[in-house]
């Protein structure tokens, strides 16, 4: 039986179609759920195995990125979120979805309602839209199982992607191997250099997982390189795209 993913949609989200296409390719079923349906109790997270929080600019990113999305979710169905992550289920947040996971406390430590890190304005002080390279780090993350050391290419599109945390939280994240992606240069070395690191993120961190490896968030967009011809160099031998599909395939395989 195929696992079923809930793709959360709120006003301003714009990557729901790309994420649903990646899930279809990976072998999952999905349903796009309006945030207001969860607020009113018309839909419940209990009916799904994967929670996917896609990219975009929810509520125009007024106040700060994903803040309204996160605040409304905690106000209306925090208990459901807590129950979902306490069960053997998976959560992935991409770009605005990663910001949502940080603002709700689902990342970095799965403490719902506690903000223990942030994603803030890019060091360049402007919106960044470019392809980047990221190296998969050693971790117990379900989504990157078997991919350690691989370099993945993904596009970025964000204005608030610079990860920051205090020294205590950062040490805990590293000690628990929660860093799953780092921005790297052409030699595969992590870097703070712009524009290879597009936002100045601390220690080149581009993505994190929870301590148990079942919640993952990242700023670049793996759903936009889930097929061979998604990469700009797809027609050059050896440069074809599609390597990011495995992230979604790993999520599907987890339930088989």
Question: Mind telling me the catalytic residues?
Answer: 95, 221, 223
Q: Which CA distances in Å does 96 have to 23, 41, 54, 240?
A: 18, 23, 7, 27
**What secondary structure letter does DSSP report for 184?**
B
> In degrees rounded to 5, what are phi and psi of residue 218?
-150, 155
Q: Between β-strands 128-136 and 151-158, what pairing exists: parallel, antiparallel or unpaired?
A: antiparallel
Q: Is 55 exposed, middle or buried (0-12, 13-18, 19+ CB in 10 A)?
A: buried
Q: Please state the length of the chain.
A: 256
Q: Please provide residue 37's backbone torsions phi and psi, each rounded to the nearest 5 degrees.
A: -65, -35
Phi-psi region of 94 (alpha: psi -120 to 50; beta: other; left: phi over 0): beta
What does each C-alpha distance from 63 to 12, 59, 70, 202, 231 come to in angstroms?
A: 14, 9, 12, 23, 34
Distance between CA 140 and CA 215 in Å, rounded? 11
How many other CB atoms sit within 10 Å of the CB of residue 211? Answer: 16
What is the C-alpha separation between 150 and 148, in angstroms, rounded? 6
Query: Residue 93: in which H helix or E strand, if any?
Result: strand 90-94
């Amino acid at each position: 039986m195929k696992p079923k993913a809930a793709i959360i949609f709120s006003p301003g989200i714009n990557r729901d179609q790309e994420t649903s296409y990646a899930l279809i390719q990976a072998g999952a079923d999905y349903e796009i759920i309006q945030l207001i349906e969860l607020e009113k109790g018309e839909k419940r997270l209990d009916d799904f195995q994967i929670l996917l929080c896609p990219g975009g600019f929810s509520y125009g990113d007024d106040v700060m990125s994903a803040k309204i999305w996160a605040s409304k979710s905690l106000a209306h169905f925090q208990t459901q979120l807590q129950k979902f992550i306490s069960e053997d289920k998976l959560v992935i947040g991409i770009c605005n979805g990663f910001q949502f996971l940080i603002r709700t406390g689902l990342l970095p430590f799965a403490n719902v309602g506690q903000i223990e890190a942030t994603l803030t304005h890019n060091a360049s002080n402007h919106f960044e839209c470019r392809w980047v390279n990221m190296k998969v780090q050693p971790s117990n993350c379900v989504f990157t199982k078997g991919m350690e050391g691989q370099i993945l290419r993904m596009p970025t599109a964000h204005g608030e992607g610079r990860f920051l945390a205090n020294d205590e939280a950062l040490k805990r994240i590293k000690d628990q191997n929660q860093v799953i992606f780092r921005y790297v240069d052409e030699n595969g070395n992590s870097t703070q250099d712009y524009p290879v690191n597009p936002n100045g993120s601390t220690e080149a961190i581009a993505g994190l997982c929870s301590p148990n490896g079942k919640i993952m968030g990242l700023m670049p967009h793996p759903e936009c390189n889930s097929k061979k011809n998604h990469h700009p160099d797809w027609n050059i031998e050896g440069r074809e795209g599609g390597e990011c599909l495995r992230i979604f395939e790993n999520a599907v395989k987890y339930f088989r």
